[in-house]
Structure 1
C-alpha cells in the first residue's frame, strides 16, 4: 500500500503525458453572523525540517523499551530553552457516542505502569473517561521537531496518592482546585474572585481538605508512537504496540522489551522502505536527478511493479475508499442493488461474465473485516468460555465428591462416638439403653471396693466433728448390696415382682426427599394459620393443680428451712483448740439421708407390697435422683481423699504427730500410698459413670425426644451427603453440555477460517488486477 502511493505521487509529478493539478484543502477559521465565510489559504506555510542525514532509524533507539525512549526525549525537551513546559500534553477523550474533545494538561509523572495527570473528576474529560476509559496523549516539542503520541486505557489512581499530591501543591493552587468546578457554568469571573477570597480567609490557618471530586488518572499505554520531522515530508515514525497476551509477530514487526513490539509506519504522506530507496537511486547518488531522466523514470516504474502492496485487514475498507475503488456511502445503497440483482437473476441463466461484473470489492472487504475482527474473536471467546466452564465445573465436581465423602465420614464417626453402626439410628440408640442396666450393675459391683474408704471417712468425721449419724448413706448401701432397685432402697425389702416401664421401639429410618413447603398461596377464602392458634398443645412438663396452698406441706421445698450450715474454719498452726491441725476443716454435714427420705415420701406408694413399678422399678443408678446423689457422695469422698493427701504431705512436724495420737487405728494406720489407691478407685468409678457415652445413654433413657433429636442430627449429615452427590451429577451434566458446545463451535471456526482464506484470495486477486497484477499481501488475516 505504501509503495503504491509512492509510485502514484511520482507518476503524477513527472509523467510527460499527464499533468496533475493538486488542490490543497482550505482552512475554515470562523463564520460571521452575516453568513460570510472567511477563507485563508495556508498552503504555503512550510517549515524546514531536519535533513535525511539526521533521520530517526531503529539503530538510533537508546532502548527497545518505549518508556526509556520517552524518558530520553523528555529529558531533551526539558533541557531545551525554547520549550516552556515540556510536560504539557494534549489529552484527547471521547464521549460514549464517539464525540471527541481535546485539551492541554500537564504530565505529573510516568513509569512503566503508565502516565499520570490530575484533574477534576466532574469535568467534561472526567465524565467522558467515566463512560469511555480510553484516551490519547500527544507531546509536541516543536523546536526539536519531535512528537510522542500515546494511546491507552485510563484508570483512577488511589485516593491516598491523590490526597498526597493535592497537599504537595501550593496552597493557592489547592484553593483554586476547590473553587474551580470545571465544565460548570458561572455568572462571571467576579464570582470566582469572591469564592477564592472566601476560601483563602477560611483556610488561612488550616489545611485545605482535598475534595472528593478531584484526583488523578493514569493512562496505561497500549501504543506509543515516536515521530520526528524530516525534509520533503519523509518523516520518521516508529510505533510500539503491546497487546494483552502474546501475539505472533506480523510482517515487518520486531520484538521489543516488556511485551512490546515495534514497526515503522508511514507518516503524513508516505515513508520509503530501504528496498524502495535502493530501487529509486538506480546508480545515482542524488535521487532528484533521476526523476528528470525519462529512462531512469521508466526503470523506476518497472522496478516498482515488483513491489508488493501490503494492506492491513483492519484498514482494508478505508484503503479502498481512499483509492476511490468504492464510495464512502456504498452501504446505503447496497441493499437496494442486491434486491434488484436477486430479482433480475430469477429468470436469467448463470453467466460467468455477469458474475465477474457483480463481484464487489467493498462487500468482500467488509465481510472479511467483520469475520476477522468480530466473528472469529467471538467464536474463539465462546470456545474459551466453554473450556473455562468445563474446568470450573470439574473443580466443583471434585469439591462435591470430597464434601459428600467427608459428610459420610463425619456421620460414621458420630455413630462410632455413640457406639452404633448407623444402619438404623433410632433403633440402635434404644438398643444401647437395653444394655444400660448391665453396665450400671457392673459399676455397682465395683463400688464394693470402697468399704475401707467409706469407713475411713466415717471415722474421720466422727473423730474431727463428733458426727454420730451415718455418712454417705447411698454409697454405703450400694457398696454393701450393689445396684438394687429404688423400691428396696426406699422400703428396705427386696421386691418380689419388678414391672419396668415399656419402651416403645423406634420405627426404621426413612429417607425423605428434600422438598420446600411454600405454604398455601391460593387466593381462596381458606383460613390461614397465622400462629395465633396452636392446634396441638405443647406439653411443657408443668401441671397446674388446684387446692394447693403456697405454704402447704405438699408445696415445693425451696430449701429455705433451717438447716445446719456448712462451716469451714481455718485455724493457724499451734492455736489452742480441741484438735490442732495445720489446715483442717470443721464439717457440719447436712442431713442428706433425711432430705432424701422426705423426697421419697412425697412420691407416695400406692402399689401392693413386694411389687416395684414405675420409678421404683428402676435401679438406683438408673433413677436420676439417686444417681445424682450417688455421684455427689463419690465427689464428696474424692474431695476428702484429696484434702487428706494434702494434709499427709505436711504431717512431718511434731504438732501434726500429736494431733492423731488419740485418733482411731484406721486413721493412724493409713499411709499416703494407700490413700492414693483409694482416690484412684473413686475417680475410676466417677469417670465410668460420667463419661460422654454414659451421658448419652442417660439422656436416651430419660427423654424419647433426645433420641429423635440425635437421629435427626445424624440423618442430616447423610442428607447433606446425598445432596452433594445430586449436585455433583448436575455439575457433570452441565460440564457435558459445555463440552458439546465446544464441539459444536470448533467446526464453525474451521469453516470461518476457510471462508476467510477464500475471501483473502479473492480480494488480493481483485486488487492485483486493478494495479497491473502487482503482488498484494493482506496482513493480519487470521481468526
Structure 2
C-alpha cells in the first residue's frame, strides 16, 4: 500500500498533545497566542467603517482565519495607500499583516485552531445541548405543575360551593343574605321535627322503666305542642307578645362592634341567675324559712306598753269597723295583670323557641341522645335474652311491652330525628344567629377560599407563562448550537487539511468530533 493512502487517525482529546509531540507547534505556544490576542485588541481600536468588517468583528472569538478575511477586506478599503512595490502605507494594514505573520510563525495558528476545536467539541457544544435539555425539562415541569393546580382549585371550589349551599346563600352580599336565610330558620326547625310523634312510644317506655312520669320533659313537650317558645314551656301558656332579641352580625373583619366602648357598662340580664323554680321560670316567692330575724324572738316584749316605746300614736277607738270585701276592685282603679312574665310578654331567652334557645337546645339534645342510648341498651338486653336463657335482667322482669323489632323501629325514628335536627345547615344557621363572631368566621372562611382559588389561578397562569418563556429560550439556542457546530466543522476541516499537507496529503481523520 502506498504511504499516501494510509490515513492518519487522531483522537480529538489528544490532538494538542499530538501536535506538540510531532513538533509541529512548540510547547510554549500559549504565550505566543496571548501576545497575538493583545495585538488583535489594539488593532481593533482603529478599524474603517465597513459592513463586512462590522459583521465579521461581531464574532466573539477572532482566530487566524478571521484575520485573513480582515486583511482581504482591508485590501479594498486601504488600496489608496498601496505603493508601486506592493506595500501598504496604512498602519491598519501593517498591524493586521503583523498579526498574520505572528500566527504563521511556528504554526501558532494551528495550535490555536486545535485549541478552539477541542474546546467546542468537549465543552461549548455539550454545554449548549445540556442547557437546551434543562430548558425542556423546566418547561415540562412548569406545565405539569400548572396542570396539578387544577385539582386543589376544583376541590376548593367544591368546598366553597358546598358551604354556600349549606348556608343557603350565594355569597354576593353576605350580610343581607345571612339575614334572609335566618328568617327561614323557624321553617327549618319545623321541617326537622317532622315525624317526632313516632318517638312517643320510646318516651313512654323510658318513663315506664325509670318510674318517672316527667322524664324527658322537653321531648314530651315537643311531641305534644311542637317547637313552642321557651316561655310557653315554662309557664304552660302561650305568650301574648314575643319580643325576640335582635340578630347581630359582625362581618367587619378584625373590627370590634360600634358599641364596644360601652360593652363594659352594659348588663346582660339574660345571664344573671335570679333563681329558678322547678319549671325553669323565675321564682316569685321567697321562703320565710331562710330569713334571719335575729334575736327578736327571745326578747320578752310587753304587749300593753309596746315594749316601752312611745310611737306618738293615739289609741284607736275600741269599736271595730266592719270591712266590706264585696266591693269590686275595678272601683278602686286596681288593674290585675294576667298570668305570665310581664303580662304575657316573652322576652330574652324565653322569646326563643326550644330548638332555637342555646340552653334548651342543649337540653333537647341531651334528652334525645339519652333516649337513643336507652333504646340501644334495651335492644342489647333483648338480644342477650334471646341468645341465652340463663341470663336474666331485672329490667326485663316486668316489662315486655316491646320486642326487639319494635324497639329497633323506634330507635331508627330517634336516629332520624337526631339527623334532621343536627344537620349541617341547621348547625351553621344556629351558630350564625346566636354568635356574632361566627358570621365573621364564615365570611373569613369563604373569603380565604376565594383568595386561595385566585392565588392558584394566578400561579397556574404564571407557570404557563414561565413555560412559554422557557420554550422561547430553548428556541433561541437553536441558531447558537447550529453556528457552533458549523464553526467546529469548519475548524475541523482546516486542521485536517493543514496536517494532511504536512504529511504528503495523507488522509487525516479527527476522531470524536461533532456529529
Q: TM-score if structure 1 supplies the norm length?
A: 0.44
Q: Higher strand proportion, which one?
A: 1
Counterpart in the other structure of 1:401: 150
The unaligned stretches of length 5 or more in structure 2 are 44-88, 287-338
Counterpart in the other structure of 2:352: 618
Counterpart in the other structure of 1:362: 111
Equivalent runs, 1:290-689 vs 2, <5 Å: 303-337=2-36, 339=38, 346-348=91-93, 358-359=103-104, 360-418=109-167, 420-421=169-170, 428=177, 430-443=179-192, 446-450=195-199, 454-455=203-204, 457-458=206-207, 461-462=210-211, 470-504=214-248, 594=278, 596-597=280-281, 608-642=342-376, 650=385, 674-689=406-421
User: Taking CA–CA contacts closer than 8 Å with sequence separation of 6 or more, which of the two structures ends up with the larger relative contact order?
Assistant: 2
Query: Conserved in 1, the CA contact under 8 Å of 2:149 and 2:460?
Result: yes
Over 3 Å counting, the alpha-carbon distance change for 1:329 and 1:680 in structure 2 is closer
Over 3 Å counting, the alpha-carbon distance change for 1:447 and 1:388 in structure 2 is closer
Superimposed CA distance per residue, residues 733-782 of structure 1 (whole angstroms, 9 cap, x where no aligned partner) = 22222222222221111111111122122222222222232222222221
Counterpart in the other structure of 1:728: 460
Query: Conserved in 1, the CA contact under 8 Å of 2:136 and 2:471?
Result: yes
Query: Conserved in 2, the CA contact under 8 Å of 1:430 and 1:506?
Result: no
Shift in Å, 1:648: 6.4
2: CA distance, partners of 1:618 / 1:489: 11
Q: Secondary structure at the match of 1:772?
A: coil
Over 3 Å counting, the alpha-carbon distance change for 1:328 and 1:491 in structure 2 is same
1: CA distance, partners of 2:492 / 2:395: 118
Counterpart in the other structure of 1:699: 431
Over 3 Å counting, the alpha-carbon distance change for 1:713 and 1:347 in structure 2 is closer
Superimposed CA distance per residue, residues 60-97 of structure 1 (whole angstroms, 9 cap, x where no aligned partner) = xxxxxxxxxxxxxxxxxxxxxxxxxxxxxxxxxxxxxx
Q: Secondary structure at the match of 2:237?
A: coil
Q: Higher helix proportion, which one?
A: 2
Q: TM-score if structure 2 supplies the norm length?
A: 0.64
2: CA distance, partners of 1:626 / 1:679: 23
Shift in Å, 1:622: 0.9
Shift in Å, 1:417: 5.0
Shift in Å, 1:339: 4.8
1: CA distance, partners of 2:220 / 2:471: 78
The unaligned stretches of length 5 or more in structure 1 are 1-278, 280-302, 511-533, 546-553, 558-591
Equivalent runs, 1:28-107 vs 2, <5 Å: none
> Does the alignment pair 1:737 with 2:469?
yes
Query: Conserved in 1, the CA contact under 8 Å of 2:244 and 2:352?
Result: yes
The root-mean-square deviation of aligned C-alpha atoms, in Å, is 4.7
Over 3 Å counting, the alpha-carbon distance change for 1:616 and 1:318 in structure 2 is same
Aligned residues: 403
Shift in Å, 1:505: 6.1
1: CA distance, partners of 2:240 / 2:366: 30
Over 3 Å counting, the alpha-carbon distance change for 1:734 and 1:776 in structure 2 is same
2: CA distance, partners of 1:555 / 1:616: 14
Query: Conserved in 2, the CA contact under 8 Å of 1:365 and 1:763?
Result: yes
Shift in Å, 1:498: 2.0
Equivalent runs, 1:241-280 vs 2, <5 Å: 279=1
Over 3 Å counting, the alpha-carbon distance change for 1:350 and 1:439 in structure 2 is closer
Query: Conserved in 1, the CA contact under 8 Å of 2:145 and 2:463?
Result: yes
Query: Conserved in 2, the CA contact under 8 Å of 1:426 and 1:711?
Result: no
Shift in Å, 1:623: 0.9
1: CA distance, partners of 2:431 / 2:239: 27
Q: Secondary structure at the match of 1:773?
A: coil
